[in-house]
Amino acid sequence: MEREKHLSRSYEEEILKLNQELENAKNFSLSLIESIGSGIIITEINDKITYMNRAGERILGYLKNEVIGKPFSILGLKEKQSNLQSLFGGQEETDTRREGWMRRKDQAEIPVGFTINNHQDIHGETIGKIVIFRDLTKVYKMQEEILRMDRLVSLGKLASGIAHEIRNPLAGIKTTAQALGEEMPEEDPRREYLNRITKEIDRLNELLKTFFSFAKPQTLNLVPCHVREIVNAITPFLIKEIADKGIRFVEFYHPELPKLNVDKVQMHQAFLNLFLNAIQAMPNGGELRVEARPFKGPASMNPNKRGVKILISDTGKGIPPQILPKIFDPFFTTKPKGMGLGLSITYQIIKKHGGTIEVESHLEKGTTFIIYLPEVG
Ligand SMILES: Nc1ncnc2c1ncn2[C@@H]1O[C@H](COP(=O)(O)OP(=O)(O)OP(=O)(O)O)[C@@H](O)[C@H]1O
Ligand SMILES: [Mg+2]
């Protein structure tokens, strides 16, 4: 009897101990998957979500209790390639890495890398899926920037080659035209033809200079300058068009705006291109708005660096989402008379100043260019 009692006590203790260990192991794995950087979602066999970790909340913008119990399909996971198999229930290989998109709570689609694994119970029976995913927005952005820089470099090489070949004969034509003019009497009406030739040559030379600015990244002549000064320097060129089209021009400068270190000539060019695009997007009037505020660096710039965030927005026709990734490319244009160089020049100038430029656009509502520039010092 004594002996039996003793046995059962030690049995109870054993179970208690095992339970404790089980609890510890559970807590350990839970804190592990909670602290991991990738999003993790577990679903039941019927696709209902039963678990999402903290990284999942951060990436998708949902709180755990907003998705638990909901069907996995609300997250709109789509695979990138055409081999779109049924993501759940199919016999496909489940543990390979894939790329695709997921929908955040705010309905924005974000690029993700993901894997889907079967969730099995201890008997090896499938009881659901485990989806592990990573936000690839930054990776995609970096890839895009590298490609863009690459295209600009090849364009630069091409442009300098062509410009060189054209410049020399042009100089020859110009001197010949001038020499011809000198041989003609003052009042000769044919002088007008020669004038026209010279004028057109000058125009071509200007164009070549634009190409050269791609080829030879000019050195920056940096001076401290307030955003307002940059805008004030270019508005005189635009006043007439703004007035003719009935556009309202609104400026807002935060009272404690730090100064920027800029090459004035180049920064005027960068802003002018943006203003011109905005005006051209509003043929029937609207609002052109410049806003500048201090900011503490976004992650893509040095996070400790302070600077200025400048918004240039219009209420024009907007940019269709499918062409949005191309607008900074050289020679990309949707305008009959456009060269498609404005934004790629602006992009290069902002980059050279250590800044960034991004765009947000809504069809028929308008477009905003968001520029970050580091402050003096
Ligand atoms: N504010 C805007 N609103 C609507 N579309 C825009 C705006 N800014 C740029 N775009 C689109 O981006 C394209 C590229 O712009 P970019 O300034 O590089 O070239 P462009 O204006 O066509 O020609 P260029 O500036 O060389 O005269 C434009 O053709 C237009 O489709
Ligand atoms: Mg333009």
pLDDT tens digit at each of 377 positions of the chain: 555 666 677 888 888 899 998 888 888 888 888 888 899 999 999 999 999 999 999 999 999 999 999 999 999 999 986 444 444 444 444 446 789 999 999 999 999 999 999 998 888 899 999 999 999 998 888 888 888 777 777 777 777 777 778 888 888 899 999 899 889 998 999 899 999 999 999 988 887 776 666 656 668 889 999 999 999 999 988 888 899 999 999 999 999 999 999 999 889 989 999 999 999 999 999 999 999 999 886 545 555 678 999 999 999 999 999 999 899 988 889 998 888 888 988 998 999 899 999 999 999 999 999 999 998 87
The architecture CATH gives domain 36-135: 2-Layer Sandwich (3.30)
Residue closest via CA to ligand 1's atom 28 equals 333
Asked if residue 357 has its Cβ within 6 Å of ligand 1, the reply is: no
Q: In whole angstroms, what is the distance from residue 152 CA to residue 344 CA?
A: 8
Q: Residues for the chain: how many in total? A: 377
Q: Is the CB of 314 under 6 A from ligand 1?
A: yes
Q: Does the Cβ of 115 fall within 6 Å of ligand 1? A: no
- Cβ 342 under 6 angstroms from ligand 1: yes
Q: Whose CA is nearest to atom 17 of ligand 1?
A: 342
How far is ligand 2, taken at its centre, from the CA of residue 219, in Å? 24
Q: Are strands 222-225 and 78-79 parallel, antiparallel or unpaired?
A: unpaired
* Ligand 1, atom nearest to 341 Cα: 26
pLDDT of 50:
95
How close is the Cα of 134 to the center of ligand 1, in Å? 33
| 300 Cβ closer than 6 Å to some ligand 1 atom | no
The owner of tokens 């590298």 is 146
227 vs 371: CA distance, rounded Å: 11
Equal fold, 140-215 vs 222-374: no
Phi, psi at residue 29, to the nearest 5°?
Answer: -70, -30
Domain ranges in the chain are 36-135, 140-215, 222-374
Q: Is the CB of 330 under 6 A from ligand 1?
A: no
Q: Using a 6 Å cutoff on CB, does residue 366 contact ligand 1? A: no
Q: How far, in Å, is the centroid of ligand 1 from the Cα of 186?
A: 45
Does the CB atom of residue 234 touch ligand 1 within 6 A? no
pLDDT at residue 87 in the model:
45
**Which single residue is written with the structure tokens 């101990």?**
17
pTM attached to this predicted model: 0.62
For residue 371 and ligand 1, the question of a CB distance below 6 A is answered with: no
User: Whose Cα sits closest to atom 7 in ligand 1?
Assistant: 277
Separation of CA 319 and ligand 1 centre (Å): 9
C-alpha of residue 277 to centroid of ligand 1, in Å = 5
The domain defined by 222-374 carries CATH number 3.30.565.10: yes
Query: Computed from CA positions of residues 159, 274, 146, 297, in that sequence, does the dihedral angle turn out positive or negative?
Result: positive
* Structural domain 140-215, CATH architecture: Orthogonal Bundle (1.10)
Ligand that comes closest to the CA of residue 207:
1
pLDDT confidence of residue 302 = 58
- Measured from the CA of 334, which atom of ligand 1 is nearest? 29
CB 43 within 8 A of CB 117: no
Residue 31 in contact with ligand 1 by CB distance below 6 A: no
Cβ atoms of residues 373 and 355 within 8 Å: yes
Rounded to whole angstroms, the Cα distance separating 295 from 375 reads 10
CA distance 357 to 370: 6
| Distance from C-alpha of 161 to C-alpha of 152, rounded to nearest angstrom | 14
Res 230: pLDDT: 95
Cβ of 374 below 6 Å from ligand 1: no
Dihedral sign of CA atoms 14, 16, 19, 25 in order:
negative
Question: What secondary structure does DSSP assign to 86-141, as a single string?
Answer: -TTTS-S--SS-EEEEEE-TTS-EEEEEEEEEEEE-TTS-EEEEEEEEEE-HHHHH
Q: To test the ligand 1 pocket, which listed residue (311, 327, 349) has its Cβ within 8 A of the most ligand atoms? A: 327
Ligand 1 contact, 26 CB (< 6 A):
no
